[in-house]
């Protein structure tokens, strides 16, 4: 039982029973308290221990969420929004108990406005589902955090990004508006469908990345893009990590229209070679993708090859066929599973930082030195066009100090990134895992965050124990 639950700030047992009664009456079978279902709605993918909710509501409409939050406010019951449960920092844990609101049944694509290059979806639509839905329109949604089954509501709530952000931006740039249920049960729409607006405070961006602590996102309007006429991929192995980072920086400075530029270190390449039988050279390697007209991508590939070779690339292979391209990116997306397969029995602490690109090579080098000095097994993969990289630190759950050691390593990494003008998380979010670190990163601005939280959720029922300490 966590500190939060001990505070007695939330529902008494009598209040909890009353809330359960009200939920049963309103939602019937959609409201569940079975332990197995509750356990499925706690965090499972990371080092952070699971803290299951006491009940789960399978919401099917914004009005369901509105009613649930209204009941929760009446009885001071925490509510935790749940999408696909793929988050990495304990976002869906219930340290103060309460109700997990599972939005996965809100999975309708409500509108596709082809002329406006946007669509309106319910929060539980997954990115894979949306792109299958769009296939025949010639449009696509580019934000790609890896997991096909990540929900768009969850991606917005954690300000997700991934491999295509270098060209198309993150959820921050690609959500035009949101419908959200606020802590008082009011339903708001944060903006219209216009591409830009100066009409008042930017509530869209306030909710994007707020991890369910300021409101529960139930619908989103998203930007779409035309499928590029031409897509080319390439692989460039380098003699050094620094060479790969420098090539990246040079390409970004040139404004080369890279759609993806991913760095994998030698250890990560070895793991995916084993997992996906790719037969790549086991040195630091960039995976690249270029989108545009036939002419534009051909030009980009040839310019990038020149940049790569002048920074020590030992080869430059363009993927000739779509099959090769898909195999390459599947391998990249399965990096985590490749690591788990390569080191069976070990668990992974996955962390991410993002630094100004001028500091990328230095930050990666210092991190490699730290890994070496501490005898860790910790492959590096990164969306390096944005200065963002992940470390997958493997540890043996049976070894007493192992988790503590990788946590200390991750903490040093985050503080190194902050000291270089970067952030302790480029895309995974704060959740429970990085609350100390954002205090280090934001200093006095934390007070403004706390004031906003208090203003919009005075009873602190929305996903308590995440992002900012109250």
Site for a copy of itself in 343-362 (CB under 8 A): 354-358
Q: Pick one of 7, 12, 61, 253: the residue that binds a copy of itself (CB under 8 A).
A: 253
Phi, psi of 328, deg, nearest 5: -60, -50
Q: Is 49 in the site for a copy of itself (CB under 8 A)?
A: no
The contact mask relative to a copy of itself for 131-160 (x = CB under 8 A, - = no) is: ---------------------------xxx
Question: Restricting to residues 265-284, which ones interact with a copy of itself according to CB under 8 A?
Answer: none
Q: Pick one of 350, 428, 432, 461: the residue that binds a copy of itself (CB under 8 A).
A: 428
Our CB check for a copy of itself shows the closer of 315 and 446 to be 446
CA pair distance 322, 14, nearest whole angstrom: 60
Strand partners, 102: 58, 82
Candidates 5-13, 43-51, 186-194, 276-284; binding stretch for a copy of itself (CB under 8 A): 186-194
Our CB check for a copy of itself shows the closer of 223 and 332 to be 223
Q: Pick one of 125, 328, 449, 460: the residue that binds a copy of itself (CB under 8 A).
A: 449
Which tokens sit at 362?
């230095």
Q: Pick one of 43, 311, 388, 432: the residue that binds a copy of itself (CB under 8 A).
A: 388
Q: Is 90 in the site for a copy of itself (CB under 8 A)?
A: no
Task: Assess contact for 363 and 356: CB atoms under 8 A.
Answer: no
The DSSP letter of residue 423 is B
Q: Pick one of 387, 433, 464, 465: the residue that binds a copy of itself (CB under 8 A).
A: 387
Q: Pick one of 1, 8, 199, 373: the residue that binds a copy of itself (CB under 8 A).
A: 199
The radius of gyration of the chain's CA atoms, rounded to the nearest angstrom, is: 22
Task: Please list, residue by residue across 251-286, b when 16 or more beta carbons sit within 10 angstroms of its beta carbon and e when fewer do.
Answer: bbeeebbbbbbbbbbbbbbbbbbebbebebeebbbb
Closest separation in Å from C-beta 209 to a copy of itself: 6
CA pair distance 218, 76, nearest whole angstrom: 21
Among all chains, which residue has been given the structure tokens 């759609």?
259
Q: Pick one of 110, 295, 369, 404: the residue that binds a copy of itself (CB under 8 A).
A: 295
Q: Is 404 in the site for a copy of itself (CB under 8 A)?
A: no
Q: Pick one of 148, 149, 299, 317: the residue that binds a copy of itself (CB under 8 A).
A: 299
Question: Restricting to residues 11-30, which ones interact with a copy of itself according to CB under 8 A?
Answer: none
Q: Is 196 in the site for a copy of itself (CB under 8 A)?
A: yes
Q: Give all strands (DSSP E) within 265-408, no chain letters.
A: 285-292, 317-319, 347-354, 380-383, 388-395
Candidates 100-108, 261-269, 339-347, 425-433; binding stretch for a copy of itself (CB under 8 A): 425-433
CA pair distance 357, 363, nearest whole angstrom: 10
Q: Pick one of 201, 323, 375, 398: the residue that binds a copy of itself (CB under 8 A).
A: 201
Q: Is 57 in the site for a copy of itself (CB under 8 A)?
A: no
CA pair distance 81, 125, nearest whole angstrom: 14
Q: Is 424 in the site for a copy of itself (CB under 8 A)?
A: yes
CA pair distance 31, 99, nearest whole angstrom: 9
Q: Give Cα separations from 215 to 206, 218, 275, 329, 460 (angstroms).
A: 10, 9, 40, 34, 11
Q: Pick one of 258, 380, 438, 462: the residue that binds a copy of itself (CB under 8 A).
A: 438
Our CB check for a copy of itself shows the closer of 25 and 111 to be 111
Does an H or E element contain 27, and which?
helix 13-27
Task: Assess contact for 289 and 329: CB atoms under 8 A.
Answer: yes
Closest separation in Å from C-beta 43 to a copy of itself: 16
Q: Is 330 in the site for a copy of itself (CB under 8 A)?
A: no
Q: Give Cα separations from 373 to 377, 378, 379 (angstroms).
A: 11, 12, 15
Q: Is 228 in the site for a copy of itself (CB under 8 A)?
A: yes
Helix axes 402-419, 435-442, angle to 10 degrees: 20
Q: Pick one of 22, 121, 130, 165: the residue that binds a copy of itself (CB under 8 A).
A: 165
């Amino acid at each position: 039982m966590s500190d939060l639950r001990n505070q007695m700030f939330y529902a008494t047992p009598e209040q909890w029973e009353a809330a359960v009664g009200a939920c049963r009456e309103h939602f019937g079978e959609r409201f569940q308290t079975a332990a197995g279902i509750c356990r499925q709605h706690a965090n499972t993918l990371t080092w952070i221990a699971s803290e299951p909710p006491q009940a789960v509501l399978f919401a099917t409409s914004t009005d369901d969420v509105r009613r649930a939050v209204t009941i929760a406010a009446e009885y001071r019951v925490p509510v935790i929004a749940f999408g696909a449960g793929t988050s990495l920092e304990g976002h869906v844990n219930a340290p103060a108990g309460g109700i997990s609101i599972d939005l996965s049944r809100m999975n309708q694509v409500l509108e596709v406005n082809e002329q406006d290059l946007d669509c309106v979806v319910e929060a539980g639509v997954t990115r894979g589902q949306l792109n299958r839905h769009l296939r025949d329109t010639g449009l696509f949604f580019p934000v790609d955090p890896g997991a096909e089954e990540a929900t768009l509501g969850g991606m917005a709530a954690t300000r997700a990004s991934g491999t295509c952000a270098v060209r198309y931006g993150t959820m921050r740039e690609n959500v035009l508006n949101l419908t959200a249920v606020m802590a008082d049960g009011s339903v708001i729409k944060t903006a219209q469908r216009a591409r830009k607006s100066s009409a008042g405070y930017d509530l869209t961006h306030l909710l994007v990345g707020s991890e369910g602590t300021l409101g529960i996102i139930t619908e989103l309007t998203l930007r779409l893009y035309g499928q590029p006429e031409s897509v080319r991929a390439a692989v460039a192995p380098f003699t050094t990590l620094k060479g790969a980072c420098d090539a990246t920086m040079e390409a970004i400075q040139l404004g080369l229209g890279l759609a993806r530029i991913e760095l994998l270190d030698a250890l990560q390449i070895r793991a995916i070679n084993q997992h996906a039988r790719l037969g790549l050279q086991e040195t630091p390697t960039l995976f690249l993708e270029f989108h545009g007209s036939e002419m534009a991508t051909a030009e980009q590939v040839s310019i990038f090859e020149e940049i790569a070779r002048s920074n020590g690339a030992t080869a430059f292979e363009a993927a000739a066929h779509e099959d090769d391209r898909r195999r390459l990116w599947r391998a990249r997306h399965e990096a985590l599973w490749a690591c788990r397969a390569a080191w069976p029995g070990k668990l992974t602490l996955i962390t991410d930082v993002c630094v100004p690109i001028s500091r990328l090579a230095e930050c990666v080098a210092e991190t490699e030195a730290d890994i070496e000095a501490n005898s860790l097994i910790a492959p590096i993969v990164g969306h390096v066009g944005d200065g963002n990289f992940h470390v997958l630190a493997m540890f043996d759950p049976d070894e007493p100090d192992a988790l503590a050691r990788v946590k200390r390593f991750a903490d040093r990494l985050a503080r190194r990134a902050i000291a270089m003008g970067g952030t302790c998380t480029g895309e995974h979010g704060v959740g429970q895992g990085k609350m100390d670190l954002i205090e280090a990163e934001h200093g006095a601005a934390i007070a403004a965050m706390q004031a906003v939280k208090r203003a919009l959720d005075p009873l602190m029922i929305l996903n308590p124990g995440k992002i900012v300490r109250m």
